[in-house]
Amino acid sequence: MENFSAYNPTRIQFGRDCTKSIGTDAAFLGKKALIIIGKGSVKKNGVLDQVTAHLKAANVAYELFEGIKSNPEYQDADAAVAQAKAFGAEMIIAVGGGSVIDTAKAVCAGFYSDHSVWEFYSGKGIKPKAALPLLVVLTLAATGTEMNRFTVLQDTANKHKRGWGNELLYPYISYLDPVYTFSVPAGYTAYGIADLMAHTFELYFGVDAAPLSDHLATDIIKLAMEYGPQAITHPEDYDARANLLWLSTVALNGTLNAGKRNGDFGVHAYEHVLSVLFDIPHGAGLSIIYPAWMKHFYGEIEAKMDFMAERTLGSGKTGKDFIAALEAFYDTIGTPKQLSQWKIGAEQHPLIVETLIENKVRGSYFDMQKADYESILALMA
């Protein structure tokens, strides 16, 4: 087991009506908030109205920045920074899923900078001097960004999608009301499930021996496979939604990394290329790649696959049984497992490989070169 440092300052408010304190919480931070949302679903389902009612009651003024897309672009974050500065925002409030929250984190850091937020993601080691506090109202079980220090944005024109992390990016408070996820469409519910499972896999396949982390990871996968179909078929099942919401948070809040140097995250790097090229939802891309990645590296991860199978499927099951069960599960919840299901054909394969090479896609432990890219691509065609 490796040495590790555990730190997570985010306060979680979990459960029905947990946002009722957001007004007083925001007033503690200041009197002006910029609210960032996506394409408008939180307007239609009433979540935004609930949040702003609490802010008004606490005499917190706000402006709205809307239009964040599912694969968020740095230009929108830059525009939101400009609005936040003009308004004199004292905090950022993200109301939405992972894309909105990731954008909001960039805005928090960009507020005290005089350059594009993309400079933080550039790999040049540029760090923010300070960041605005962030309040998060989560509406989708998926990324885990509500309780970690990471954010992902993309530069679509130059075919780059990059993650970045900093201690200043932990949300101050995240509000997780399972009721707010009831209205998420079945497709995006499924993509979120695939995303939380992928985060778990990435950390599980870290090569260091950390038994508790591995046992927790297999439990998350087992429970996701149990509650996922319930949430798809019964979208207002509070228990199913609540469990998925907490599973997604724990999958990437640092718990599964304890005792390990890192996760692998090669599949995430591979998927970022699919997102930036074809605007495929992140979770959908992950569900396409992961079974293929497991098959390609099976000889190196067989023992880990067998342990996953026994913990999730029962005694005597093998890693190959698990891959088959995973693919069947993706079919059940309605997320793709082949590129052809997203109408990405063989004619696009050279572009995918070229972009993977350009972005130097690797895993922390399972390295990938051109031959690996092509093999995995063939398996997920």
Closest by Cα among 309, 205, 322, 312 to 267: 205
- pLDDT beyond 90 at 249: yes
Q: What is the pLDDT of residue 125?
A: 83
- The pLDDT tens digits of the residues spanning 314-353 come to 999 999 999 999 999 999 999 999 999 999 999 999 999 9
Q: Is 359 exposed, middle or buried (0-12, 13-18, 19+ CB in 10 A)?
A: middle
Q: What is the pLDDT of residue 124?
A: 85
Chain length of the chain = 381
User: In the chain, what are the domains?
Assistant: 11-180 (3.40.50.1970), 186-379 (1.20.1090.10)
pLDDT range class, residue 203, cuts 50, 70, 90: very high
Alpha-carbon distance of 289 to 293, in angstroms, equals 6
Rg of the chain taking only CA atoms, in angstroms: 20
Confirm if 204 and 319 have CB atoms less than 8 A apart.
no
pTM for the model stands at 0.95
- pLDDT beyond 90 at 2: no
- The pLDDT tens digits of the residues spanning 24-33 come to 999 999 999 9
DSSP-derived secondary structure letter, 73: B
- pLDDT beyond 90 at 123: no
pLDDT range class, residue 9, cuts 50, 70, 90: very high
Kindly give the residue spans of alpha helices, DSSP state H, lying in the chain.
Answer: 22-29, 41-44, 47-57, 74-87, 98-110, 118-121, 186-204, 211-233, 238-251, 266-278, 282-296, 298-313, 319-333, 349-358, 370-379
Element (H, E) at 13: strand 11-14
- The pLDDT tens digits of the residues spanning 54-98 come to 999 999 999 999 999 999 999 999 999 999 999 999 999 999 999
Q: What is the pLDDT of residue 4?
A: 86
What's the whole-number mean pLDDT along residues 132-141?
97
DSSP string of 244-310, one letter each residue = HHHHHHHHTSSGGGTTSS----HHHHHHHHHHHHH---HHHHHHHHHHHHHHHTHHHHHHHHHHHHH
Helix, strand or coil, per DSSP, at residue 330 = helix
Q: Is the dihedral of CA 55, 81, 281, 152 positive or negative?
A: negative
Which of 22-26, 119-123, 212-216 bottoms out in mean pLDDT, i.e. has the lowest?
119-123
pLDDT range class, residue 52, cuts 50, 70, 90: very high
Integer CA distances (angstroms), 105 to 1, 89, 217, 257, in order: 32, 14, 27, 22
**Which two three-digit tokens encode residue 121?**
């993601």
- pLDDT beyond 90 at 178: yes
Closest by Cα among 136, 104, 107 to 245: 136
Alpha-carbon distance of 293 to 267, in angstroms, equals 7
- The pLDDT tens digits of the residues spanning 264-312 come to 999 999 999 999 999 999 999 999 999 999 999 999 999 999 999 999 9
The residues that bridge with 152 in the sheet, in sequence order, are 163
